[in-house]
Amino acid sequence: MSASPKWENCHDRALADVLEKEGGSVPAFLNAVFGFLSRQCPEELYNSSQISGEHLISQSYCKWRQKYLEEKTQKSLQLLQWNSVKENHPHSSFNAINGAIRESYAWTQSIEDLEVRICVHDSVRKGRQVKVKLQPTRMEVGVHGSSTSWQTLVMGDFPHGIKVEDSVWSLVPGDHILIHMEKAEERWWDRLLTNEDSIDLKKINAERDFATLPEEDQQRIQELVWNKKQQEIGKPTSDQMVSNCLLDKT
């Protein structure tokens, strides 16, 4: 049973309730169904002169099994097609760590900033052909390529704020637009735009680059590394050296 079933038939919900009450057991579910039929229409099920009950059951089973196999095959083909599209996607070489690859753009993030890459047509060669409008909670990107009018590539609202004054963009002629945005606050985003699917924040790499840490944290890490090296060669750590100095003074 799916965690979020789609009720395609008017009886699905009622039958799902029966299955749930039977503890998810298919044999128990079938016993409930055939028990119901034996009480409601025993003649049709057991004594029909036209067709046997076994045949009715087999016929229905074969019909829905065939439908299931056809849908399974179709899903497998769709998955193969999707994987092929992903491998040949224009953003497939972009490092979308902690972000995602979407149809018209790809994005990645650190705890402090975001980077977005938007592919453009080969005819987009100059900065004046690009329009990037950034607001604290919204972005809009368009290009003026081979057509006579502006074409919007990406537009939407952010789930959180950015620092517009600290954000910049650049154009790789005929290839892509790269936008760097500083977050208004240090936090992990589960999506770039509110109208896209969220990513699983439990799977992101939450490690921070040493250079992005506050100065006090950098000094503390350097001290820990130095103390470890001192211990390995049998020399006193910084705390031990301070203690020895205090003892000498007394």
Long-range contacts of range 30-35, CB-CB < 8 Å, 24 or more positions apart?
A: none
Domains of the chain are 12-87 (no CATH), 100-208 (2.60.40.790)
If the chain, 250 residues long, is cut into consecutive pieces of 10 residues, what is the mean pLDDT of each piece?
Answer: 52 88 90 86 70 77 84 71 54 75 90 92 91 96 82 95 95 92 94 93 72 68 77 80 67
Q: Which are the contacts of 159, defined by CB distance < 8 A and separation ≥ 6?
A: 189, 190, 191, 193, 194
For the whole prediction, is pTM greater than 0.85? no
Q: What is the pLDDT of residue 3?
A: 43
- pLDDT of 114 reads 95
pLDDT at 1: 40
Instruction: Report pLDDT for 214.
Output: 66
The tens digit of pLDDT for each residue in 84-96 reads: 545 555 665 667 8
CA 177/CA 132 separation, integer angstroms: 9
pLDDT at 2: 41
